[in-house]
Amino acid sequence: MKKAEMGRFSISPDEDSSSYSSNSDFNYSYPTKQAALKSHYADVDPENQNFLLESNLGKKKYETEFHPGTTSFGMSVFNLSNAIVGSGILGLSYAMANTGIALFIILLTFVSIFSLYSVHLLLKTANEGGSLLYEQLGYKAFGLVGKLAASGSITMQNIGAMSSYLFIVKYELPLVIQALTNIEDKTGLWYLNGNYLVLLVSLVVILPLSLFRNLGYLGYTSGLSLLCMVFFLIVVICKKFQVPCPVEAALIINETINTTLTQPTALVPALSHNVTENDSCRPHYFIFNSQTVYAVPILIFSFVCHPAVLPIYEELKDRSRRRMMNVSKISFFAMFLMYLLAALFGYLTFYEHVESELLHTYSSILGTDILLLIVRLAVLMAVTLTVPVVIFPIRSSVTHLLCASKDFSWWRHSLITVSILAFTNLLVIFVPTIRDIFGFIGASAASMLIFILPSAFYIKLVKKEPMKSVQKIGALFFLLSGVLVMTGSMALIVLDWVHNAPGGGH
């Protein structure tokens, strides 16, 4: 191909492969987890957005119509960061409390590097495979099985994300109601029961928003989660210097503060006490216990953004793989720092007393704290508005699997929406803790999306490299490590469930 012809495509000549499918091949930007990606297709009828397309499969490279990206570098970094960050950040302190600081940092570093390598494989495969849709790559690599594997993993990951958001509602909304109404005794009050509240929120707020045919303004609201988590991180850092240790002493102090709230507990200085600093107030660097098995799945769950990578790549201005990798490096590094700080300061506040959902841990120590009330309100608003966004791709995926050829029907649309929401609510009510969601989804769907699928697609679709090349061998090792992580984590988590049936951590 001549240099002049290359100029038609927004790809630098040094890229080793460069192909894109037509617009119809990737006309939906996944709001995975809570990424509200700025897309040209935000308002396309979601029931007609081809999640599981089979068109243009036979097209060769460069035969397709080129769609130039319009999103700037900075905005792409924002979109990808937004796709990465999610409810997983609330479970990281728990992971650190069960691995120790040093081991956690090692694991966090490895998971972030592996996720970045996975993005590299995905971009290379997309260029070579000629598609910017995750499922489409699956279809091109392994036919219907590949498409179903990709679609199933994305759907499962989204259900996990949805469940974790509803878990946050279940944990935090009763605390917000308590803080607003000064209710002390909470025995038997239905409106302080998380299960009732999560059902109520699902029916009154989430269901009506989920029934829209178009994302509309909801596409923007999910972007608030990044801002929300930055605010949460700032508060976690501030609180480290206000919550005394040992935690047991804080309960006594809390009683004193709550009798007369002459100033907000948010600004009460760390009160001195005579309790001797025992072992529970000393940070540990390496910890191994029955809960350590949850650390890697929680970390993997926290770094999933891969279905959103390709739509962001498609929208990137002056698109090239190198440029997209730079976007990814900045986003992953920013999230690495954010996760590390949140986990570290959360752990250094409560040590081994950290619960599987960090924000909930503060309630037993600080009681009615104004700053935490604001954080809780912000988090609740962000997650409540994000759940409908996550329902969209799940519903479209289900619709295309079950009745792709049929015309749009409000009955079917509503029934699928209600079914998804009902299933997620049942999970939230009957699964003991958010840790189990993080663990199970992190070990299964997230491992598939980060480790197994990108490397499998790369090995199958990138033909120009021989199987004995360093790149292919690297991808093969990555695939094997993914299988190992997945099976190992799942086995250990199931063993933990069997041995600790009541379910700790919360």
- Residues engaged in binding other proteins (CB under 8 A): 38, 71-72, 74-75, 177, 180-183, 216-217, 220-221, 223-224, 227-228, 231, 259-264, 266-267, 368, 370-371, 373-374, 377-378, 381
Nearer to other proteins, 7 or 216 (CB): 216
Q: How far is the CB of 262 from other proteins (least distance, A)?
A: 7
Give how far Cα 161 sits from Cα of 32, 87, 185, 267, 472, Å: 9, 7, 32, 33, 32
Which helix H or strand E contains 96, and what residues bound it?
Answer: helix 92-97
Q: How far is the CB of 418 from other proteins (least distance, A)?
A: 27
Q: How far is the CB of 165 from other proteins (least distance, A)?
A: 17
User: Helices (DSSP H) in 370-409: which residue ranges?
Assistant: 370-403
Q: How far is the CB of 389 from other proteins (least distance, A)?
A: 14
Identify the sign of the CA torsion 263, 264, 268, 273.
positive
CA 424/CA 436 separation, integer angstroms: 14
Nearer to other proteins, 177 or 341 (CB): 177
Q: Which residues, in sequence order, are bridge partners of residue 71?
A: 316
Nearer to other proteins, 373 or 452 (CB): 373
Nearer to other proteins, 215 or 443 (CB): 215
Q: How far is the CB of 164 from other proteins (least distance, A)?
A: 21
Q: How far is the CB of 140 from other proteins (least distance, A)?
A: 32
Is residue 255 a contact partner of residue 368, using CB atoms and an 8 Å limit?
A: no
Asked whether residue 274 is marked as a ligand-binding residue, the answer is: no
Nearer to other proteins, 126 or 226 (CB): 226
Nearer to other proteins, 74 or 283 (CB): 74
Give how far Cα 206 sits from Cα of 175, 211, 391, Å: 20, 9, 10
Which helix H or strand E contains 418, and what residues bound it?
Answer: helix 410-430
- The Cβ of residue 225 has, within 10 Å, a number of other Cβ atoms equal to 28
Give how far Cα 373 sits from Cα of 172, 190, 360, 377, 423, Å: 10, 21, 11, 6, 29
Considering just the CA atoms, what is the radius of gyration of the chain in Å?
23
Give how far Cα 399 sits from Cα of 126, 265, 280, Å: 25, 50, 52
Nearer to other proteins, 217 or 477 (CB): 217
Asked whether residue 276 is marked as a ligand-binding residue, the answer is: no
Q: How far is the CB of 251 from other proteins (least distance, A)?
A: 19
| Angle between helices 358-366 and 224-240 in degrees, nearest 10 | 40
DSSP class per residue in 351-369: GGG--SSHHHHHHHHHSS-
> Residues forming the annotated binding site?
82, 386
> Residues forming the annotated binding site for Na(+)?
82, 386
